[in-house]
Chains A and B, each alone.
Chain A
Amino acid sequence: MDPARTKLTFGLILIVGVLTVGPVVMLTLGSFSEGLTAFGRFTTDKYVSAYTDPAILEVLFNTVVFVLGSSLVSTVLALFLAYLNNRTDIPFKFLFRILSIVPMMIPHLLFAASWALLLNPSNGMINVLIKSAFSLESAPFNIYSLWGMILVEGLLDLPIAYLIIAPAMASFDVALEESSRVFGASPWRTLFRITLPVLRPAILAAFILGVVRSLASFATPSVIGMPGRVNVLATHLYQMIATGFATDYGKAAALGMSVLVASVTLIFIYRAMTAESEKFVTISGRGYRPAVIELKGARIPLFIAVALLSFVMAILPVAVLIYTSFVPYVMAPSARAFELMSLRHWTAVLTDPLSLLSLKNSLFLGVAGATAGVALSIFVAYVVVKVKTRAAGILESLSYLSFSFPGIVIGVGFMWFFVQTPLYATIWALLIGYIATYLPYGIRPLASAFIQIHAHLEESSQVCGARPLTTMRRIIAPLLVPGIVSAWVLMATMFVRELTLSVVLSRPGTEVLAVQILRFADDGLWGRLAALGIIMIAISTTLVILANMVGARLRPEP
């Protein structure tokens, strides 16, 4: 083994280990230590007080219902959509691409806020419209409830569930179903005995990932749940550390430990499931692709349902925010509302020093954080893909570990960590926290870029007489560019919108966009929230468009 590579591998294990395992260790220490530092005397008091809290039962119940409910919504919808797209003659299939990609550009916080604007019980736009149309006494819907949270979180997790289930559905060998029919099973029996069981690993994987994501979700519980006093673990933790006089981080850490353990366990199951799902791939047929299922009369109604869903997922949230940013207060669209439109919220936001500071901080974190994160990811991805030693395997596991970390819990761990250092309450604390938590987003595109660079490409350059540096410059770097661009953009967009880690780590002076938006939501300043939110979406979208343009120009000609 090349000693330089070994040194690189161990150096990276050290860096990534500190970034990912460090906060977990601090969290564990903090949860067992007396007083307000992570290095106090050993005690189990924090656990006792965290888990004997009378509110905990209700919180746990809400969490279970919220997490299972929203995962069920996203999985069932994803299954339905994937089936329609892959197996039927539904028209305008491009809609499914929109459904699976566009919602990812809308930050969860703003998606949740737009639903609050539409369906809140006092002046939600849809509620007001229905109330006046049917002259009702009270609002028909109350989004500030458990079912409201389930609906919003379910829709938020739909794209990721779709991206897991759709490929499984596409690679499904239709002969498996056809043979069941030939051997005497009806279409329904075939669906339940063959189709769904064969897809079971993918379905379960989507469901489990949904559980992990909704368990870690903070946007929906804080914007939809807290106004209705429906608390789940994430918001319960947040209230422990963000409100009250004597913040007890130890107690929060003790409670967070169970969320962390649950989350890590689920991710292990998820990875086992996806491995299982790959095993189910059978020999694929050659050439013969049977006709898709004709929907006949159901074609148009189903298409309308999908179109409506795309509208609700991709267009409505942005439209609601744009509209809200121009009207003086939350009101249903009417001629009067359009007369009253003005730029006052925009002016207010653009002259508000705190909003401008958060904008500046978020932009800095996006650019600097993504650059540093990609730099680290390049080395990690290189070692993971090209150096196939046991140490490289450890590095891989370490680097994907943070996937399973719920932001708010790991934030508490980072808090303990940074309190010991001069980094506490600086923007660098946020930067390091972001990179640690979102490292997989940088590694994944780069790892697949490295996989595409076959060893023969490097070797043939060497055989042609190029020195290692020339090979790097002429062969590897150009082939890597698309991966670098997509990793950078992915990280930058995640950082610009980051909420869960930031609510814990952000201190006066280091406010970021999402924290400022959440503050507007708490204060009911919906107009300003909308204006700042549009700015946030504009930044993300610009990044994505720029990346596509750069990527298209730099991509090697096929």
Chain B
Amino acid sequence: MEIQISGVSKRYVSEGKTIVALDDVNLTIPANRIFTLLGPSGCGKTTLLRCIVGLETPDSGEIRIGDDIVWSRDRNIAVPPEKRGLGMVFQTYAIWPHMNVFDNVAYPLQVRGVAPDVVRQRVEKTLHFVRLEGFERRPATRLSGGQQQRVALARALVGEPKVILFDEPLSNLDAKLREETRKELRTFLGELKITAVYVTHDRVEALALSDSIAVMRAGQIIEVGTPRKIYFDADHRFVADFIGRANLVQAKVRAHANGQTIVDCGLGTIACQQRDLAVGAEVTLCIRPEFIHVTTDDIGGANVVAGSVDSLVFVGETYEGEIRVGQDVLLAKIDPDARLAEGDAVRFRLDPAHCLLLAI
């Protein structure tokens, strides 16, 4: 079910200062997709999620879930959370400690007055789905973090909600478990074909899970797109910088030729992905470290840059190398078995498809 957010603003007063949590947000979340709100802490992503679910009241605007308006200042509509028919996984899971697994999962059905035998059936089915069968009688306080997470997911799914919302559901798990659970979640949600809104500050999580990502900053949506678009083809410098490690180099547009945009910068003259930028404009050239393939071979031609190794740090799966080219220092990922030492002269060829130009 599609979610439409139009003109939603929210301000807090905290210690005498007004904080703008949401600044006139307009957003359409498509139906049956996994949609992620991504941004640094304090960007308003959780506030937006809580406005959708009804735990927070916006100051202005309108929120529509499917055909129903659930909140509107102008029409004076405010549907309380319990009447919105949504499912949610909380950051702390919010597993009720005085109930066992069955009661936790059955709760959304019980409060809606579903017949007990139907409740039993559906809880069983949902627990089977999240691979927790046999845990029905387990007290909620005797579950591991990963199991609590799955109980929370089962509880959110059992009522077959129109929309399911996730508020940083993996942030309380340790790194290894987080990776496993992320994959699991991807599988679960892939099978369900449900509208899911997912809030996170973790870019890997966002890229791995989402069909689309909205990147937020200071209460505003900066950019919306698929993970590939956001990663390779961002329009905003903030987005390109936030979504992954990036080398940002000042550049000036020289010309457009052969479906490429040519710029001058500290690396020399570089052919880049085509962008609709005026000749002579000041731009930022963004190159991700994994696309800088250094070699000691004497290669030549267009887009080849020569530099020297400033430093090399072995981090296991790769070397993180700093390559000095004139005034610029570029971060590069280098094969861990490369025979290189600090001070070596190196060259690398930049693929124009991976040279992203950003207006400012």
Contact = CB atoms under 8 A, between A and B. Distances in A.
Interface of A: 173, 175-176, 178-186, 189, 193-194, 197-198, 200, 279-280, 282-288, 290-291
Given A198-B98, A280-B97, A182 B91 contact: no
A229 B90 CA distance: 58
Interface string B105-143: 001100110000000000000000000000000000100
Given A283-B92, A290-B50, 10 more contacts: A173-B94, A178-B94, A181-B55, A181-B81, A183-B88, A184-B108, A198-B98, A282-B141, A283-B93, A288-B46
A178 B55 contact: yes
A184 B111 contact: yes
Given A175-B94, A186-B82, A286-B171, A279 B141 contact: yes
Contact of A184 (B53, B94, B112, B148): B112
B66 interface: no
Nearest to A176: B94
Contact of B91 (A189, A279, A280, A288): A288
Contacts of A291: 12, 56
A185 B98 contact: no
B313 to A, nearest CB: 30
A291 B94 CA distance: 17
Q: Which 4 A-B pairs have the closest CB atoms?
A: A183-B108, A175-B94, A179-B94, A181-B81
A517 B54 CA distance: 60
B188 interface: no
Contacts of B98: 197-198, 200, 280
A196 B91 CA distance: 22
A200 B98 CA distance: 9
Given A189-B111, A198-B97, A283-B172, A182 B53 contact: yes
Contacts, number: 96
A184 B82 contact: yes
Most-contacted residue by chain B among A175, A183, A185, A200 (CB, 10 A)? A183
B88 A179 contact: yes
Nearest to B171: A286
Nearest to A175: B94
B82 A285 contact: no
A185 B90 contact: no
Contacts of B56: 290-291
B85 interface: yes
A173 B95 CA distance: 10
A431 to B, nearest CB: 46
Contact of A286 (B53, B85, B91, B141): B91
B28 interface: no
Contacts of B92: 173, 175, 282-285
B80 interface: yes
Given A286-B171, A288-B46, A290-B55, A185 B94 contact: no
B44 interface: no
